[in-house]
Amino acid sequence: MILKKADGPELWQLEAIDFINKCISRKPESRLGINGTPEVKSHVWLKDFEFKKLLKHEMPPPFVPNSRDHFNSKDFFPSPDEIRMNTPL
């Protein structure tokens, strides 16, 4: 399925639609990223994205859940120490 500007969400940029289309190409050999991550990172939609800041954990998260949501990530994602402690030898 190829997204067209008219089919995409109203506020989406053409570059975002192009990015998605290239990621979901029916032919795996045509998909964005088949030649490695530099191909994805160089797409025009990501041209201003600061990958170095992301890797250094210097970017603020785009969404921070409200503490009233009663969500505790430890309930769903155990720490590496918890996994090691609960893994039979």
CATH architecture of 14-85: Orthogonal Bundle (1.10)
Place of tokens 């609960």: 86
Torsion of CA 22, 24, 25, 27, to 10 degrees: 130
Query: Between 82 and 18, whose confidence is greater?
Result: 18
Q: Report residue 84: phi and psi, to 5°.
A: -65, -40
Query: Between 7 and 31, whose confidence is greater?
Result: 31
Q: Note whether 18 and 5 are within 8 A (CB).
A: no
The pLDDT of residue 65 is: 72
Render pLDDT for 12-66 as a digit per residue (tens, 0 to 9): 888 999 999 999 999 999 999 999 999 999 999 998 999 999 999 999 988 877 7
